[in-house]
């Protein structure tokens, strides 16, 4: 296998890897809509505060699989965290092992000591991880909410359950100038790590604008709903959702400030966001959300909204 380094922000990379990625996801997640260019572009692009490694294994001129890793620029010796895919028609030819070896070597050259990879929780993935000497680091659930069935009525009902002393503010793509500083301050309270993305560190208005531009470059519209304290104007919590050229949208962050929790704030915000986004995008059929199995609060929130878990994905860790 020939390993090549690719630019995840180059449209040519997306076009090259898309057929294999579509083949892979149709096998791993057969109930999902077909993978679009926008989804793959979002997965491979550099994210705010992070660098990106994209390596592809080639069998001749044909890509056999790829791995993408995010590197937090604020932690120079931190792990590379991402995903690895071997395309179904190219499996059992050594592509996976070649990609792991190449990723570990690349991380070592950058002074990073650990490789972390997410994969579907299957016997095959567990056996491959053991062969590579990797250990289970954590598990995430994929949850889905169908917008065309009875769950939609429940979302609309929860969106009407306002928290006294607060109002919901909605926007898409660009945060209003009057709120951007307050939004950055609320974002700074986020303490949940995200696969391959940088840790949040005192973000500014410029950081908010950078993230907005990032989503747009990958063909995504970012929808945001925030709860604003009517007395102080402070943002008490917010939730994000990403819409692309697909019937499926991706849930992003849901945050409620510590002193505003246990009032139904998160449920109200996220329900309001989903209800509004569904009205403005009638092509949407479902929303997917990824959650750590240890995050009891967010898992409970999603269950209240009608999300149902349909698969588990493991994070494996191995020394670079």
**Lookup: tokens for 164:** 């006294």
Q: Mean pLDDT, to the nearest integer, of 108-116?
A: 95
Whether the CB-CB separation of 239 and 224 falls below 8 Å is answered with yes
Cα separation, 138 vs 319, whole angstroms:
16
pLDDT of residue 196: 62
Question: Does the structure show a pLDDT above 80 at 192?
Answer: no
pLDDT of residue 300: 93
Q: How confident is the model at residue 7 (pLDDT cuts 50, 70, 90)?
A: very high
Q: How confident is the model at residue 28 (pLDDT cuts 50, 70, 90)?
A: confident
How many Cα neighbours within 13 Å face the side chain of 170?
15
Summarised one tens digit per residue, pLDDT across range 250-270 is 999 999 999 999 999 999 999
When mean pLDDT is compared over 45-49, 201-205, 246-250, the highest value belongs to: 246-250
Cα separation, 82 vs 71, whole angstroms:
9
**Lookup: tokens for 117:** 């990879």
pLDDT of residue 152: 87
pLDDT of residue 20: 96
Whether the CB-CB separation of 266 and 254 falls below 8 Å is answered with yes
Q: Mean pLDDT, to the nearest integer, of 42-48?
A: 93
Q: Mean pLDDT, to the nearest integer, of 175-187?
A: 96
pLDDT of residue 197: 75
pLDDT of residue 29: 86
Summarised one tens digit per residue, pLDDT across range 117-153 is 998 888 988 999 999 999 999 999 999 999 988 888 8
How many Cα neighbours within 13 Å face the side chain of 251?
29
pLDDT of residue 47: 92
Whether the CB-CB separation of 55 and 5 falls below 8 Å is answered with yes
Cα separation, 24 vs 192, whole angstroms:
28
Q: How confident is the model at residue 88 (pLDDT cuts 50, 70, 90)?
A: very high
- Residues whose CB falls within 8 Å of the CB of residue 214, separated by 6 or more in sequence, listed in order: 45, 46, 47, 48
Going edge to edge, which strands form the sheet with 80-86?
Answer: 2-6, 50-59, 62-72, 80-86, 114-120, 308-319, 135-146, 286-292, 248-256, 235-243, 221-229, 166-172
pLDDT of residue 200: 78
Question: Does the structure show a pLDDT above 70 at 39?
Answer: yes
Summarised one tens digit per residue, pLDDT across range 193-243 is 676 677 878 899 999 999 999 999 999 999 999 999 999 999 999 999 999
φ/ψ of residue 31, rounded to 5: -85, 0
Q: Mean pLDDT for the chain?
A: 93
Summarised one tens digit per residue, pLDDT across range 284-314 is 999 999 998 988 888 999 999 999 998 899 9
């Amino acid at each position: 296998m020939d390993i090549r380094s690719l630019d995840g922000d180059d449209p040519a990379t997306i076009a090259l890897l898309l057929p294999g990625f579509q083949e892979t996801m149709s096998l791993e997640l057969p109930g999902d809509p077909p993978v679009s260019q926008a989804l793959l572009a979002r997965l491979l692009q550099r994210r705010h505060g992070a660098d990106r490694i994209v390596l592809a294994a080639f069998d001749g001129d044909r890509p056999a699989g790829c791995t993408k890793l995010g590197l937090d620029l604020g932690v120079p010796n931190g792990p590379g965290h991402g995903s690895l895919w071997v395309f179904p028609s190219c499996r059992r030819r050594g592509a996976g092992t070649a990609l792991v070896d190449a990723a570990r070597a690349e991380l070592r050259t950058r002074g990073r000591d650990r490789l972390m990879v997410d994969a579907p929780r299957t016997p095959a993935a567990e056996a491959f991880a053991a062969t590579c000497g990797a250990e289970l680091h954590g598990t995430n659930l994929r949850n889905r909410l169908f917008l065309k069935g009875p769950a939609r009525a429940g979302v609309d009902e929860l969106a009407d359950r306002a928290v006294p002393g607060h109002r919901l503010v909605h926007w898409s793509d660009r945060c209003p100038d009057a709120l951007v500083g307050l939004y950055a301050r609320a974002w700074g309270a986020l303490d949940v790590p995200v696969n391959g993305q940088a840790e949040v560190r005192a973000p500014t208005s410029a950081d908010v604008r950078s993230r907005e531009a990032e989503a747009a470059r990958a063909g995504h519209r970012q929808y945001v709903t925030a709860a604003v304290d009517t007395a102080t104007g402070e943002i008490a919590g917010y939730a994000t959702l990403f819409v692309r050229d697909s019937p499926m949208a991706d849930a992003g962050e849901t945050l409620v400030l510590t002193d505003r929790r246990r009032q139904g704030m998160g449920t109200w915000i996220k329900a309001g966001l989903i209800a509004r986004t569904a009205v403005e995008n009638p092509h949407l059929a479902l929303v997917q959300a990824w959650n750590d199995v240890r995050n009891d609060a967010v898992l409970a929130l999603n269950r209240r909204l009608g999300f149902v878990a349909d698969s588990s994905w493991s994070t494996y860790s191995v020394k670079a």
